[in-house]
Amino acid sequence: MIRFLLRRLLWFGLTLLCVVSVSFFLMRSVRGGPFDNERTLNPAIERNMQARYHLDWPQWKQFLQYIGPLNLAEDGAELVGGDGTDPFGGILTGDFGPSFKYRDFTVNDIIGQSLPISVSLGSIALLWALVLGLTAGIASALYRNSKTDVALRLAATTGIALPNFVIAGFLVILFVFLMPLLPVAGYGTPKHLILPGFALGAPFAAYIARLSRTGMLEVLSQDHIRTAHAKGLPSRLVLLRHAIKGGLLPVVSYLGPATAGILTGSLVIERIFAIPGTGSHFVNSALNRDYTLSMGVTILYTVLVYGLNTLVDLAYTFLDPRIKLEES
């Protein structure tokens, strides 16, 4: 396992370097900059702002400065901010730099404030997805080819086909306008997370229902399940002790990218329900050309996706002892 984790760590470093490099140069290849939407500035002030954030440097030099704390000033001169310190610490030190638009905050500050909100929303959405998806999938497998099975499969197909923002629209119409039971937007109480959590988790619940149904049908047809029934074990005990553990393997493999997808998919939902999470800041950073904030959130999502997929691989070995980690 140690060799497996070390190899994953090496590939993580290479993956992160590729993501940072491609994102960095793609953002700067698009026309416009972080100060283009400002009111008309005095040329001298604009030059000072460009120098403050090193935007007057060649792109390759900006990239190296963003990666690590380097002194890349020409002729040995110190190019620093007005407070006597360089605003960029470098991502190797865990410093994503200052925000170009929210100038009283660093990117680390913004992520630190917004990430717990996105995690709360994602946790509610994942809970909805697991409860609804597993219940529907197991019930559909147990009552195969019945009316219940057909209805649940139809509901799952509908959930997969509808984007989460369409589901959000239906929920707002139903539970805000027709039956005013829940708040439509904002953040502050658990009630504010019910509608966005369901809208975000519903498509993933549909996928989990399909995967759990397929996995359970495969396990229920195996010899050891028939043997357990032949020995006279109650159906409930056979299901809980012998069938579920193997039937949920497809769901476990899906949970890694699904959890990352829930967090990254919250971009639209957070905008619809006016939730001040990381997704909202990511959208605003793209609209405002806030290079550092956009890069910080991109790196955060990359770490989440890679880390969660690694956890899924480790979980596989605990659920099914026949699966071994590839260490060669």
DSSP state letters, 163-188: -HHHHHHHHHIIIIIIS--S-SS--S
Query: Both tokens of residue 178?
Result: 């027709």
Q: Is 192 exposed, middle or buried (0-12, 13-18, 19+ CB in 10 A)?
A: buried
Confidence of residue 82 (pLDDT cuts 50, 70, 90): very low
Q: Looking at the domain assignment, is residue 18 inside a domain?
A: no
To the nearest whole percent, how much of the chain has pLDDT over 70? 84
Total structural domains within the chain? 1
pLDDT at 257 over 70: yes
In this structure, is residue 85 part of a structural domain? Answer: no
pLDDT range class, residue 207, cuts 50, 70, 90: very high
Q: Average pLDDT of 194-209? A: 92
| Residue 86 to residue 99: CA distance in whole angstroms | 14
Q: Measure the N-to-C terminal CA separation of the chain; round to a whole number of Å.
A: 11
Residue 108 lies in a domain: no
Task: Assess whether pLDDT exceeds 70 at residue 109.
Answer: yes
Backbone angles phi, psi at 106, to 5 degrees: -90, 165
Q: Which of 156-170, 249-263, 286-300 has the lowest mean pLDDT?
A: 249-263
**What pLDDT does 326 receive?**
60
The verdict on residue 154 lying in a domain is: yes
The domain of 272 spans 115-286+308-319
Q: Is this prediction's pTM over 0.85?
A: no
Average pLDDT over residues 231-255: 74
Q: For residue 312, how many other CB atoms are within 10 A of its CB?
A: 17
Q: Is 23 a member of any domain?
A: no
> Pick from 113, 110, 90: which is nearest to 100 by CA?
110
* 192 belongs to a structural domain: yes
Q: Does the residue 61 lie in any domain?
A: no
**Distance from chain centroid for Cα 218:** 30
133 neighbors 212 (Cβ within 8 angstroms): yes
The more confident residue out of 327 and 110 is 110
pLDDT tops 50 at residue 80: no
Rounded to whole angstroms, the Cα distance separating 91 from 106 reads 13
Report residue 238: phi and psi, to 5°.
-60, -40
Output DSSP code: residue 98. Answer: B
Residue 314 covered by a domain: yes
Q: What pLDDT digit, counting tens, does each position of 40-57 carry? A: 566 676 677 677 777 777
263: CATH = 1.10.3720.10
Q: Is residue 77's pLDDT more than 50?
A: no
Average pLDDT over every residue of 288-309: 86
Task: Decide if pLDDT at 78 tops 50.
Answer: no
Confidence (pLDDT) at 124: 92
